[in-house]
Amino acid sequence: MNNISLVINTVIKNKDVWPMFFGQLDKHITKNTFQKKYIFVDENNEELPADYQVVYFDKNKKYQEQFSSCIKSVLEEYCIYISEDYILYDNIRCDLIKEYKNILDNNQNISFVRFMRGGTVDLMHPYENCKRIYKLYNYLPYFYTNQVALWRTRDLEKIHVCGPNLHIGNTDYENSFEYRATQTCEELGIEGVFYHNNEPKRGLYHYDTEIFPHVSTALVKGKWNLSEYPEELTPLLKKYNIDFNDRGWI
């Protein structure tokens, strides 16, 4: 798609997930869907797909610094940012992604369209005359999350450059980048919206998405998330010859 890139953030310790992750991307995303595709990674001794640009970050730094050092390499105006444990199980909806890119083109105050509804704030206020699009409020918790979204690349970069120097997730979650970046968004005046088309709720914190149908997330504290995605993950683990006992499962 014109001027939209796919950005993948991963680490070498999760290389056992890569065959499933990239295999499902190849299956459910047609060629030339994205203008360019990137992999951000700390190091690599495995063969990565040839059609991605690999950008390395310093594994000794915290997530905020790592991502900030990499995102500047992404030159496309828009990007979709995901991690290696967002496993696709159906085709993405390119038609809807193009439609919501037009929303960003025509509404310069909006920085992103999130492809899924969150499960913590139950506000469903429609955004202008856009079907299935609802407002988010940057003064409420979890305005910023790492869920799949179409971003203005430079706004995503700005949040990371200006955000707290923290890892993405800590045992003390309220002291993690993902949690604290909401305050950064409020300070920067970042605005966003989300898509929801009556998809079912999945677990406690989010809903499924027809735009980018994926396991979100396949790993929880390093273990396979079979409690929330048994029907999606079980056949994929078998298909890619992955023994879920190696990591364990919840």
| 3-state secondary structure string across 135-179 | ECCCCCCCCCCCCCEEEEHHHHHHHHHHCCCCCCCCCCHHHCHHH
- The strand pairing partners of 5, in sequence order, are 36, 79
CB 114 within 8 Å of CB 53: no
pLDDT tens string 151-199: 999 999 999 999 999 998 767 778 999 999 999 999 999 999 999 999 9
Mean pLDDT (whole number) for 52-81: 97
Question: For residue 21, which phi and psi values (nearest 5 degrees)?
Answer: -60, -55
CB 41 within 8 Å of CB 58: no
Each domain of the chain, given as residue ranges in start order, spans 4-243
Q: Which of 3, 52, 1, 43 is nearest to 25 (CA)?
A: 52
CB 179 within 8 Å of CB 173: yes
Fold (topology level) of 4-243: Spore Coat Polysaccharide Biosynthesis Protein SpsA; Chain A (3.90.550)
Task: Please report, for the chain, how many H helices and E strands are present, in that order.
Answer: 7, 14
pLDDT tens string 135-145: 999 999 899 99
Position 67 scores a pLDDT of 98
CB 213 within 8 Å of CB 226: no
Helix (H, G, I), strand (E, B) or coil at 133: strand
Residue 163: CB atoms within 10 Å: 23
Residues of the chain with pLDDT > 70, as a percent, come to 98
Q: Is the pLDDT of residue 83 over 90?
A: yes
DSSP 125: -
The structure's pTM equals 0.95
pLDDT tens string 192-221: 999 999 999 998 888 999 999 999 999 999
Mean pLDDT score of the chain, rounded to an integer?
94
Q: Which two tokens stand for residue 20?
A: 């499933």
**Rounded Cα distance, 21 and 60, in Å:** 25
**Rounded Cα distance, 227 and 233, in Å:** 10
Position 172 scores a pLDDT of 79
